[in-house]
Structures are given as C-alpha cells and as structure tokens.
Structure 1
Amino acid sequence: MNEMGGKLMEKHVLCDKEKLEIGDKEIFQVGRISIVLIRTEDGFHAMRNVCPHQGGPLGKGALQGAALPSDVGEYCYDKKRDVLYCPWHHWDFDVKNGCSIRNPESVKVKTYKVSVEEESVVLYK
C-alpha cells in the first residue's frame, strides 16, 4: 500500500523495466482486472485492457499513430506509437490519458499510475 494524493493505493510490481522495448505492450492480470502495459518513447503507460465499445482486448491491438483533425486539404499524422487501436473495430485511444482520439470528451479507457522503481515497473491502483 502507498498513499498518493491522500488516497491509499495498492502497489503491483508488473515486470522488469527491460522486458519491454519502446513500442512494445504486454497484458497483465492485476487482481480481477486485465491491464495492458505500453512502453513509449517517454516511458511506461498502463490502461484497462477492455475497449468501452464492445469489450475488445486492447492489448491485442496495434500501437501506431493517428491522423488528427486538421484543415481541409491538410493531412496531419501524429502521436506516433502513442495510439492503441482495438483489434475488433479499430476504436483508438491515446495511451497517455486513455481518451479516444475521435471523441475525447465522451469515450475514455481507465488509465493507471505507473512508475519505474529501481529496475521494476510498478503499477498503482
């Protein structure tokens, strides 16, 4: 147990920090919750391994970038390796905050605090 922001949180060691290369992801079972751990260029991110659309396993989807809204006639591809796509219907989620790329105000996947402590990746929930 650890206290963060006045809230008592459980600490779960997921893996050695060298287990995942940049652009890799792996699914972990933490209690009764399936979580996908993703390593990007700026660190580790964890989110629930369930798409809010129809329950698809997000950890089995592609980790890519996304075409973002832009001006007419302009093509803006960004967030390289920061977007996780559901393998069932290709709903897309920013791994840093869990928000949908297409509908960030209404559609979100739960994210979890992750830190690297010594040589281990640790999740707090």
Structure 2
Amino acid sequence: MGTRHVVGRVDEIPPGGSKFVQVGKFGVGVYNVGGEYRAVTNYCPHRGGPLCVGMRYPVIESDEPYQFEVSGSDEILKCPWHGWEFDLRDGISEVGTKRIRTHTVRVEGDLVVLEGV
C-alpha cells in the first residue's frame, strides 16, 4: 500500500469542481467529473506544461458536419501551453498516443483521499 493524502471533504469538491494538491514532484489535480473523482499529475507529456491550470470542457461528438452533441461534464483537460487535450476519465490524449499519469482517488466517509502518489 502506497502513500495516502487527504485532499479535503467531499463538499469542497462538488461536481465540476477541482482542487490542486502539492504532492509528488509536480503536484496533482483532483477533479469531480460527474460525481466521480479523478486525479492527474500536473505535467503535460508534450512539453512539461502545468496541465492542471488548463481549461476543462465536455466531450463534443459529431457524426456529420454541422451536427454535434455535447456529452458528459467537463471530462477533457486542455494543456495551457500548446492545447494538448486529455480525457480525465482515463488519461488518454484526444489526439495521438500520449497519456497523462492518473491516480486513484477514494471517498472515505466525507473525505476525498488520494492514493499512491
């Protein structure tokens, strides 16, 4: 079992919210994505940008021109340096083969706990 860090109370990170935690070499962003907690290292694999200060937005899907559907709730995290986009649910880049480091987050009672960093 690795290290554990209490991030805060559940009510401090409501759906759509986030909190930055100074753990590990770069820090970790903890996100509430549609009621599920996700955590990623604050490091973009493209050029090392501070990923966790990037914008978040929902997945936009399209089957044909001028037709689109917005799904989810701010699952995509965009690096502020060069615009690389990553899915907070699995850490995979929306374009290419890059992946960000994800971490396990658990809810224990009313606390959000980050594990293994």
Q: For the superposition of Structure 1 and Structure 2, which TM-score range results when normalised by the shorter chain? A: 0.7 to 0.9
- The answer for the alignment partner of 1:123 in structure 2 is 114
1:12 paired with 2:43, answer no
- The answer for the alignment partner of 1:52 in structure 2 is 45
* Separation in structure 2 between the aligned mates of residue 87 and residue 108 of structure 1, nearest angstrom: 16
Distance 1:71 1:41, change over 3 A: closer
Is the 1:65–1:83 Cα contact (8 Å) retained in structure 2? yes
Identity %: 30
Is the 2:75–2:87 Cα contact (8 Å) retained in structure 1? yes
Work out the number of aligned pairs and report it.
Answer: 115
* Separation in structure 2 between the aligned mates of residue 20 and residue 42 of structure 1, nearest angstrom: 9
Superposition pairs for residues 4-43 of structure 1, below 5 Å? 8-43=1-36
Correspondent of 2:60 among 67, 71, 77: 67
SS class of match (1:75):
strand
Q: CA deviation at 1:15?
A: 1.1
Is the 2:26–2:43 Cα contact (8 Å) retained in structure 1? no
- The answer for the alignment partner of 2:104 in structure 1 is 113
TM-score (norm 2): 0.86
List alignment gaps of at least 5 residues for structure 1: 1-7
- The answer for the alignment partner of 1:83 in structure 2 is 76
SS class of match (2:81):
coil
TM-score (norm 1): 0.81
SS class of match (1:30):
coil
* Separation in structure 2 between the aligned mates of residue 24 and residue 35 of structure 1, nearest angstrom: 14
Is the 1:63–1:85 Cα contact (8 Å) retained in structure 2? yes
Q: Which amino acid aligns with 1:20?
A: I
Q: CA deviation at 1:87?
A: 1.1
